[in-house]
Structure 1
Amino acid sequence: MAKGPLQYKKILVIKLGALGDFVQALAACRSIHEYHQGAKITLLTTSPYVEIAKSCPYFDFVWDGGRPDSFMVTWSLVQKIRKEKFDRIYDLQTSSRTNRYYTLLWPFRPEWSGIAKGASHYHKNRKRTKMHTLDRQAEQLAMAGVGLGQGRVGGTASAPDLSWATEVQKGAARTELTWFGVRKPFALIVPGSTPNRPAKRWPAQNYGQLAMRLRRAGFMPVIIGTETEQEDTYIIQQACPGALSLINRTDFIQIIMLARQAHLAIGNDTGPMHLIASSNCPSMVLFSSESNPDLCAPRGADVTVLKRKKLAELGVGEVWETLQTMGKIDPHRPPHADQPIGAQSSSDG
């Protein structure tokens, strides 16, 4: 006889990264948390996501070390999992690595939701890799009786809900706009992406031109990212000296809190845009042929995707007009006194 949700006392969720994937998995984690009320839920992840996971109300315990670098360390992790005697494990990473954890748990394996061969709740969909991440994970859980009507397969999954961050950080000075020197109204600019995939980046000089348009339209451009975006940030600030750099000054929670107060955000297909879009900040996300928005685009209350085979082909004028279409820019207020709205400079591509 199948167990009811209240009969599960200990649950393990596995999600290792990367940032965008981790953020999207929080939708599934919420469903797991709501289904297994009263159970103790542990998350196995990696070091970049430990702090945000500890702030998230969906987990009681957070384990680091989800990507062991040797067989001996892997075996130690598997023994740790075995010792905890979890009633069910939800593998949201569904990789060869996590499949190996299932294999090594033989012969006393707990219930397992994922794609490991022999799993009790196998995600039986040969087209699963053709699904958007959120829809794929929702269907995986539905096959385990969780969410989407507790067993109904198919449909479109909701975006992650990051509203809990507001309560967690309520009154914290480090999340106030004055902490960063930001004033309203402001627009977030996210010019980075994975360093080894430069084709995912819209040219920094285009972001610079856009930042100047935003500035002249009355918005403070605020740039967020890591040290790998330092050069891009310099180019943007050369074009728009009024742009504020928060490079290396924000953690994940702070990005959420900034996003919840921003007028809009624009950025490449990169992890922080998932945090921003899921915080219900009106967001424009730029995609190249390097990734498919049908499979991985951020979801939120107000998300617009622009895609070009090469992002250098996407002009500043087109981006600006799209922001106007979104209703985020007043079309009656030209961004440049000497350039009509919609016009593109020679560097627009």
Structure 2
Amino acid sequence: MARMKGGASRILVIKRAGLRQFIEAEPVFASIREAHPRATIDLVTSASLQRLAKAAPYFDRVVATRDTMQSEERKQFAGQLKKIGYNLGYDLDGTKESGDLRSSLKGFRGPQWVGPKLSSPKKLLAPGPFAGPAVRKLLRDSGLPLEERLPSLSWLSAQEGGANMDPSWFGISGAFALFIPSENPQHRWPAEYYGTVAASLAAEGVTPVIIGSQELSSYAYDIMQYAVEQSRAGGRAAVDLTGKTDAAQLAVLAGHARFFLAGPSEELHLVAAAGTPGLVLLPASEDLASDALYGRQVVKLTATSMQNVAPELAVRTLLNMGLMGGASRSQGQAFA
């Protein structure tokens, strides 16, 4: 690998495409850092991932860009990167946008690239984004030693992020569980079913916390209404945090949660990587093979229609997993 004057390497990593893809690349980030222990490693990522990326121990600097950059904006950004002068670049996205950025960095001061081959300045031979297995193969083919392990967020500490990284910042105290509805209405468990489980949790003194994008706020409201109608415990039936957490805050919340109950979603992969056990409600048509879900205390319930997965079955499964019915997961286990 080329070296800069003084023997220090400068490396650029591109990982902007998707929360799931970012989580699945975590072992790759670790391998890049281990392979280049004295290098200065900069990451280009998206604004939604910036805070989580900054908390990771693998990068010296994290730069966030808009998801889609116009030609002139990309040219200016590439010019700034050229002035820095990178020896080596890792394209871990494999998207048209990352290919465009790579093409903009060509020239005398451009880096050597590890990434999908470009069939033309604007087109990738293997368009992405590509997830865990494809990224690992790419890195192995480049000769980079890779540690075969699950994605982990054990390096993330609530203390390092300030007060707004603690569950109490959101008004959460005591035991709680994360509800993660699917963004896709066709893959979403009925709100009434979530409400039934929420009522069962309230009877145990466990608070359901609903997470996801702002677009799920009305659905979260429905869950809370159903929970109130069915609950005999009184008090707050659930906490709605839809649209109110970034990726780093969510990872810390997951580290303190007793368990999760989720449909197919981007957030699911982050919560699983935090080491949180849980139950996934999965349509038969949905392929949810994911690095973050392998080898975890995670059970999947699959059906052709989500309405066919009765809430009583979900509760019974959580009981059998030891996550309900008086069983208590050690709080803060993931970030102890």
- 1:258 is matched with which residue? 253
Q: Distance in 1 between matches of 2:203 and 2:177?
A: 12
Q: Distance in 2 between matches of 1:132 and 1:79?
A: 27
Taking a change above 3 Å as real, the CA distance of residues 118 and 313 of structure 1, as seen in their structure-2 partners, is: same
Q: Residue 164 in 1 paired to residue 155 in 2?
A: yes
Q: Residue 97 in 1 paired to residue 97 in 2?
A: yes
- 2:116 is matched with which residue? 115
- Alignment gaps of 5+ in structure 1: 150-156, 333-349
Question: What one-letter code is carried by the residue in structure 2 that aligns with 1:159?
Answer: L
Taking a change above 3 Å as real, the CA distance of residues 14 and 70 of structure 1, as seen in their structure-2 partners, is: same
Maintained 8 Å contact 2:48/2:246 = no
What do residues 260-311 of structure 1 show as CA deviations (whole Å, max 9, x unaligned)? 1111111122222222111111122233256411257645632223333332
Q: Distance in 2 between matches of 1:69 and 1:174?
A: 30
- 1:338 is matched with which residue? none
Task: Kindly report which structure 2 residues correspond to 1:280-291, keeping only aligned pairs within 5 A, or say none.
Answer: 280-288=275-283, 291=286
Maintained 8 Å contact 1:8/1:88 = no
What do residues 65-121 of structure 1 show as CA deviations (whole Å, max 9, x unaligned)? 2644322222223333333221111111111221233334344442211112379xx
Q: TM-score, normalised by structure 1?
A: 0.78
What do residues 114-157 of structure 1 show as CA deviations (whole Å, max 9, x unaligned)? 112379xxx99x8x98x9922222222222222336xxxxxxx4
Task: Kindly report which structure 2 residues correspond to 1:1-349, keeping only aligned pairs within 5 A, or say none.
Answer: 9-65=9-65, 67-108=67-108, 109-117=110-118, 133-148=131-146, 157-166=148-157, 169=160, 172-193=162-183, 197-241=184-228, 242-288=237-283, 291-294=286-289, 298-299=293-294, 301-330=296-325
Taking a change above 3 Å as real, the CA distance of residues 306 and 136 of structure 1, as seen in their structure-2 partners, is: farther
Three-state SS of the structure 2 residue aligned to 1:64 is strand
Taking a change above 3 Å as real, the CA distance of residues 209 and 34 of structure 1, as seen in their structure-2 partners, is: same
- Alignment gaps of 5+ in structure 2: 229-236, 328-336
Q: Distance in 2 between matches of 1:59 and 1:296?
A: 22
Q: Distance in 1 between matches of 2:267 and 2:295?
A: 13
Question: What one-letter code is carried by the residue in structure 2 that aligns with 1:158?
Answer: R
Aligned length: 313
Taking a change above 3 Å as real, the CA distance of residues 132 and 329 of structure 1, as seen in their structure-2 partners, is: farther
- 1:154 is matched with which residue? none
Q: Distance in 1 between matches of 2:273 and 2:260?
A: 12
Of stretches 29-38 and 72-81 in structure 1, the one that deviates more from structure 2 is 72-81
Maintained 8 Å contact 2:259/2:276 = yes
Maintained 8 Å contact 2:152/2:274 = yes
Q: Distance in 2 between matches of 1:72 and 1:174?
A: 36
Higher RCO structure, 1 or 2 (CA under 8 Å, sep 6+): 2
Question: What one-letter code is carried by the residue in structure 1 that aligns with 2:117?
Answer: A
Q: Distance in 2 between matches of 1:107 and 1:118?
A: 18
What do residues 308-345 of structure 1 show as CA deviations (whole Å, max 9, x unaligned)? 3332332212222322332222399xxxxxxxxxxxxx
Q: Distance in 2 between matches of 1:117 and 1:331?
A: 56
Taking a change above 3 Å as real, the CA distance of residues 102 and 226 of structure 1, as seen in their structure-2 partners, is: closer
Q: RMSD of the TM alignment (CA)?
A: 3.1
Maintained 8 Å contact 2:217/2:242 = yes
- 1:337 is matched with which residue? none
Q: Percent identity?
A: 28
Q: Distance in 1 between matches of 2:158 and 2:10?
A: 26
